[in-house]
Chain A
Amino acid sequence: MTTKNDGGTGCSNPVEAATLMDYWLALLPSTAEDAIEEHLMTCDACGDRLRHVISLSEGLRTLARSGSLMVVISDRFVKHAAETGLRVREYAPARGESIPCTVAADDDMLVARLAVDLTTASHVDLSWCDPRGVEHQRMADIPIDVESGSVICQQSITWGKASPSMTLTARLLAVNEAGEEHLLGEYTFNHTRTIPGPPGWEVS
């Protein structure tokens, strides 16, 4: 069992926080899990710490399922989300393509699937620009699966539902060790607001 010195926990041999999280996520081998459970059955201080771990884990689960985070995800993840009942709105432009898009009030996830050849790239940034080319957000060093032939980015559904009609361009950039950028693909999303009511902000 992985333990550390007492950091004021009230336990002389507290379980490491990372190990408690692995225990909660059922990621420990059975022998390590058995040892943790023997300890927890005698130690209320570590039980209290496990409650904090559970609370954080549940908060992250709720957040992950809310669709409100902007994050690079995988094809398996998108399929799994749809299978678990989420309504996924997905757009899959080809390189250089400009497409119309929208989001409905009952959508749960908003996903952009950007087709790209990643075979020569190791470090890739995803840049979001307005029609003037001004960068509004850069997602640096995103995780890539070279064999997948695409980058899948979840846009915040909260942001999408509040957004006015506007155009955004996603640019996938390979970045080398010298910091030099090479455009891998550019994709333009012409968003039309279809949800009734005023948007959350006006386009400047």
Chain B
Amino acid sequence: MYVGLSDADLAPRIADGDSEAEAEMCRRMGPRIRLYGLRHLRSSSAADDLVQQVLLKVIEALRAARLRESDKLAHFVLGTCRMVVVELRRASHRQEALLAKFGSDLIPEPPPMPTLDDRQLARCVQTLKERERSVVVMTFYDEHTAAETARSLGISEANVRVIRHRAVAQLRDCLGVTL
């Protein structure tokens, strides 16, 4: 029933008390919020917390019809993500009261992460040129910046970027991953 509806179509329905529209909004936004959380919090459990807290705040706002322009739903969710990440970094407490009020049954299961063949990946990395392998290892070991890697290897920052992009593209090809 809700498949053909846009994100914006869901907001007024939620304001009207439509619980199915609410569930659909959570189903769509949950995985997107989780990706944001993974990127900024670097932890699956913290990303799950973020999904809960953001969805609860968004539902609360939508039920109260506080979102005036429904086509700004995604932007509103993103803004809420940013605000909650700041809060999470400031204090790690959970919003138990909100969870008690709304329950957690609307929190969707995240889509599974794609799996990689680790042995194949190792074989692919061994086929890289020496500079590419050095840049890949030093970049991904601890997510070193291009500047740090460049300083360490005595090459320019721009060169590190070019080498990294080329190496990652080659690895994707080697693994048969098409993006």
A residues lining the B interface (CB < 8 Å): 7, 9, 17-18, 20-21, 23-27, 37-38, 40-42, 44, 47-57, 59-65, 68-77, 80-81, 84, 139-148, 154
Q: Which residues of B58-102 are within 8 A (CB) of A?
A: 74-75, 77-78, 81
Q: How far is the CA of A38 from the CA of B71 in the complex (A)?
A: 13
B38 at the interface (CB under 8 A from A): yes
B residues lining the A interface (CB < 8 Å): 7, 28-29, 31-32, 35-36, 38-39, 74-75, 77-78, 81, 111, 113-116, 118, 121-122, 125-126, 129-131, 133-146, 148, 151-155, 161, 164-165, 168-169, 171-172, 175, 177-179
> Could you tell me if B154 and A145 are in contact, using CB atoms closer than 8 angstroms?
yes
Q: How far is the CA of A68 from the CA of B175 in the complex (A)?
A: 19
Q: How far is the CA of A9 from the CA of B175 in the complex (A)?
A: 18
Given the interface pairs A41-B32, A69-B133, the reply to whether A74 lies near B78 with Cβ below 8 Å is no
Residues of B within 8 A of A63 (CB): 118, 121-122, 125, 137, 140
Residues of A within 8 A of B153 (CB): 74, 143, 145
> Could you tell me if A142 and B32 are in contact, using CB atoms closer than 8 angstroms?
no
Q: How far is the CA of A18 from the CA of B75 in the complex (A)?
A: 24
> Could you tell me if B113 and A54 are in contact, using CB atoms closer than 8 angstroms?
yes
> Could you tell me if A40 and B179 are in contact, using CB atoms closer than 8 angstroms?
no
Q: Find the residue from A37, A50, A146 having the highest chain B CB count within 10 A.
A: A37
**Which 8 pairs of residues, A with B, have the shortest CB-CB distance?**
A145-B154, A74-B152, A60-B140, A64-B141, A17-B179, A41-B74, A59-B116, A143-B153
- Which chain B residue lies CB-closest to A33? B39
Q: How far is the CA of A141 from the CA of B153 in the complex (A)?
A: 13
> Could you tell me if A143 and B134 are in contact, using CB atoms closer than 8 angstroms?
yes
Shortest distance from the beta carbon of B109 to any chain A beta carbon, whole Å: 14
The total of Cβ contacts below 8 Å across the A-B interface reads: 157
> Could you tell me if A42 and B134 are in contact, using CB atoms closer than 8 angstroms?
no
Chosen A-B contacts, 18 in total, with CB atoms closer than 8 Å, are A9-B179, A18-B169, A24-B39, A25-B143, A38-B74, A41-B36, A56-B171, A60-B125, A63-B118, A71-B130, A72-B134, A74-B138, A77-B138, A77-B141, A143-B135, A143-B154, A146-B154, A147-B154
> Could you tell me if A51 and B134 are in contact, using CB atoms closer than 8 angstroms?
no
One of A37, A69, A74 near B126 (C-beta < 8 A) = A69
